[in-house]
Amino acid sequence: MICNELIKDIKCTDILGDTNVSISGVNIDSRKIKPGHLFVAIKGTQVDGHEYIDKAILLGAVAVLCEKAPKEPLSDITYIVVTSTEDAVGKVATRFYGDPSKHLKLIGVTGTNGKTTIATLLYNMFRKLGHRCGLLSTVCNYIEDEQIPADHTTPDPIELNELLAKMVEQHCEYVFMECSSHAIAQKRIGGLNFTGGIFTNLTRDHLDYHKTFENYRNAKKSFFDHLPKSAFAITNADDKNGMVMVQNTKATVKTYSVRTAADFKARIIECHFQGMYLEIDGQEVGVQFIGKFNVSNLLAVYATARMLGKQREEILIAMSTLHSVNGRMDTLHSPQGFTAVVDYAHTPDALKNVLLAIHEVDGKGHVITVCGAGGNRDKGKRPLMAKQAVQLSDKVIITSDNPRFEEPQDIINDMLAGLDAQDMKKVLSIVDRREAIRTACMLADKNDVVLVAGKGHETYQEVKGVKHHFDDKEVLAEIFKQS
């Protein structure tokens, strides 16, 4: 593509060099530059991309999108100067990849918890309804059946548009994607054309990055602020911030609720370990999920399908065949007769919801929770997670999650700081996650529930920059085999 074409939608403050140059690729990372590429220099949280302009040119970049032109520009390089490269990169990326989101019905899901669940269930449902679909999620990206491993909940703008372009090529009609608060704040989704947006809920997380809850909320809200008039915005009326999210949106607002008046409503009729009977929009349906929070998730799925033109009956029939998402309330039954639940709860609110869901099940014995907290992430959530686990469990084993670059014992200590002497009577701490899970299983009797929280689908444990193979479900299966 000719550079001129590529920068059509962005406001340049200065241009040096020939804009008729042909661009063969766009990249924000100098290490990925190939001859003929445009390098976009972005100021990040660790380094300033402008420091890598020379490196990018050395690797063959022919053009640079930047916020300040170098003092000694090279004559054979085109420099495009803008006020914010972060703002511009999405527009350039969508243009380079042929504006793929315009050829798709793209639905974004945002909120603290439930994004992966809702996006995945929508993808599964719309495939069951006979459509070709794509999914961009924390667990994995999909183009129909093809799996593309995901490093992030929301990919960077280049990878994102490249994936969407592949989805268009594969004739996908619908794409369901998670929009993380980091991605919204960093404008990874800039320039995309959304058909609809969904808000799940907002509780504390990621304050290491956003600093204040208000910034975190505003990041989520800006997703709705930027939706076009033609789009729909589906929000959770049960969440304190549900209406705040959509107060400045141009999109058509619809609400869902399990508690109050709303456009889409649901209630639980019955709940078993195998699933629940629900009334959704006045119609009864059996689903293979448990937990009140999953009623909200399913209702968001229902509301979205309705807004996309599907009929009540076809949605509910498809919904009754859906099952839990990898690592979300994933149950395994031990030979000794206790149940292990592997769940991705890694915030205080998620832990609370998962434990409440376990308590809703009839006939269960004691609840033993194994949990930790991730290193180099929001430290403030650690004591709250420990407290939540203790309040709703009979025994808690505090252990390691992904320590990343922190000392595992320091993270555990941060968690223990949230507990008083009475709480401590219920608590053991074991740094080695495998040993922690094994101990929980040894303590469990028939009908007890062992909740292994925090890592869900993850198949690794990240220690000092190295990802070691670790899979909670695999570890449980090994323990079950040995006993």
Ligand X SMILES: Nc1ncnc2c1ncn2[C@@H]1O[C@H](COP(=O)(O)OP(=O)(O)OP(=O)(O)O)[C@@H](O)[C@H]1O
Ligand Y SMILES: CC(=O)N[C@H]1[C@@H](OP(=O)(O)OP(=O)(O)OC[C@H]2O[C@@H](n3ccc(=O)[nH]c3=O)[C@H](O)[C@@H]2O)O[C@H](CO)[C@@H](O)[C@@H]1O[C@H](C)C(=O)N[C@@H](C)C(=O)N[C@H](CCC(=O)O)C(=O)O
* Chain residues in the site for Mg ion (CB under 5 A): 115-116, 138, 153, 178
Of the candidate spans 111-119, 157-165, 188-196, 253-261, the one that interacts with ligand X by CB under 6 A turns out to be: 111-119
Q: Which does 455 bind (CB under 5 to 8 A by kind): ligand Y, Mg ion, ligand API, none?
A: ligand API
For position 112 contacting ligand API by CB under 6 A, the verdict is no
DSSP 174-194: EEEEE--HHHHHTTTTTT---
Exactly one of 52, 194, 216, 224 binds ligand Y (CB under 6 A); which one? Answer: 52
Confirm whether residue 222 is marked as ligand binding. no
Exactly one of 28, 63, 329, 370 binds ligand Y (CB under 6 A); which one? Answer: 28
Site string for ligand Y, 163-192 (x = CB under 6 A): -----------------x-xx--x------
Q: CA 448, CA 452: separation in Å to the nearest integer?
A: 13
Confirm whether residue 191 is marked as ligand binding. no
For position 75 contacting ligand Y by CB under 6 A, the verdict is no
Rg (CA), the chain: 24
Q: How many other β-carbons are positioned within 10 Å of the β-carbon of residue 167?
A: 28
Size of the site for ligand Y (CB under 6 A): 21
Tokens linked to 33? 């530059």
Measured in residues, the chain has a length of: 483
User: In sequence order, which residues have a C-beta less than 8 Å from that of residue 192 and are 6 or more positions away?
Assistant: 90, 94, 101, 106, 108, 160, 164
Residue 33 beta carbon to ligand Y: minimum distance, rounded to whole angstroms = 8
Q: CA 30, CA 49: separation in Å to the nearest integer?
A: 8
Which amino acid, residue 368?
A: I
State how beta strands 330-333 and 339-343 pair.
antiparallel
Helices (H), 276-376: 292-307, 312-320, 348-360
Helix orientation angle between 348-360 and 292-307, rounded to the nearest 10 degrees: 100
Site string for ligand X, 271-310 (x = CB under 6 A): ----------------------x--xx-------------
**Closer residue to ligand Y in complex, CB, 94/429:** 94
Query: What values do phi and psi take at 196, rounded to 5?
Result: -160, 160
Q: Which does 161 bind (CB under 5 to 8 A by kind): Mg ion, ligand API, ligand Y, none?
A: none
**Closer residue to ligand X in complex, CB, 25/403:** 403
Confirm whether residue 188 is marked as ligand binding. yes
**Residues tagged in the binding site annotation for ATP:** 111-117
Residues in the annotated binding site? 30, 111-117, 153-154, 180, 186, 188, 377, 401-404, 454, 458
